């Protein structure tokens, strides 16, 4: 229902049959309808989940994210981001702008913005291991690897790894961390992955004492 018809429905039968009265009301409300429709357009088209093209470019400028990457990506990927990838970069910039510096804060912001999981381990040597779960498109993974997506403290190095499926957690069951029956054990991580019944440095699989697991 339009704003005009919503107001017209409020007019009582005493006046509804008067052509001049209805024409006057309609003429006045047409201007309000245009303003209302413009406000709805602005709200929808500058919603980050719905914005594209020029509207998305404006949002990017507001938060400090350019659609054109400051480097040439690998694998023949274009440095000019499409709307979906640019949306991820804008979300990441928002996360960087509001992040308070804590690992728990970052994990919560990440889930809210991306609907995906992130696991962070502070190695206590000015490096962190970051496992990103559920982000599978190549250009966003590329931007993560280049340090454009995940916020980090100054001068801290990050080792990135990716998994398309929930990863193994020994005593945890969430959307992103699963037990033996449902976890992905094969993600690419710089440290050896946990293996229940295999001990092989060559295959990158080690047991409880030396493997990387959540």
Kindly calculate the radius of gyration of the chain based on its CA atoms and give it in whole angstroms: 26
Q: Is the per-residue pLDDT at 158 higher than 80?
A: yes
pLDDT of res. 80: 94
Q: How far apart (Å, rounded) are the C-alpha atoms in residues 187 and 211?
A: 13
Q: Let me know: does 91 contact 110? Beta carbons within 8 Å.
A: no
Nearest CA among 158, 148, 151 for reference residue 107: 151
Per-residue pLDDT of 162-175, as tens digits, reads: 887 776 666 666 66
The model's pLDDT over 59-79, given as tens digits with 9 standing for 90+, comes to 999 999 999 999 988 878 999
Quickly state the pLDDT bin for 104 (edges 50, 70, 90). confident
Both tokens assigned to 204? 């990158």
| 68 secondary structure, DSSP code | B
pLDDT tens-digit series, residues 187-196: 555 544 544 4
Picking from 209, 165, 179, the residue whose alpha carbon sits closest to that of residue 191 is 209
The distance of Cα 172 from the centroid of its chain, to the nearest Å, equals 24
pTM confidence score:
0.63
């Amino acid at each position: 229902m339009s704003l005009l018809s919503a107001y017209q429905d409020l007019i009582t039968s005493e006046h509804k049959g008067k052509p001049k009265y209805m024409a006057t009301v309609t003429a006045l409300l047409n201007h309000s309808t245009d303003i209302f429709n413009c406000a709805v357009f602005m709200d929808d088209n500058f919603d980050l989940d719905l914005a594209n093209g020029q509207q998305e470019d404006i949002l990017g400028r507001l938060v400090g994210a350019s659609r054109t990457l400051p480097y040439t990506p690998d694998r023949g990927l274009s440095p000019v981001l499409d709307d979906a990838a640019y949306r991820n970069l804008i979300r990441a910039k928002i996360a960087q702008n509001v992040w308070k510096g804590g690992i728990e804060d970052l994990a919560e912001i990440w889930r809210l913005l991306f609907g995906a999981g992130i696991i962070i381990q502070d190695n206590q040597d000015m490096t962190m291991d970051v496992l990103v779960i559920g982000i599978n498109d190549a250009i966003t993974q590329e931007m993560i690897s280049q340090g454009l997506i995940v916020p980090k403290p100054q001068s801290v190095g990050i080792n990135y790894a990716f998994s398309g499926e929930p990863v193994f957690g020994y005593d945890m069951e969430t959307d992103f961390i699963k037990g033996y029956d449902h976890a992905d054990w094969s993600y690419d991580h710089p440290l050896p992955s946990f293996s229940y019944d295999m001990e092989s440095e060559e295959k990158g699989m080690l047991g409880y004492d030396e493997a990387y697991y959540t």
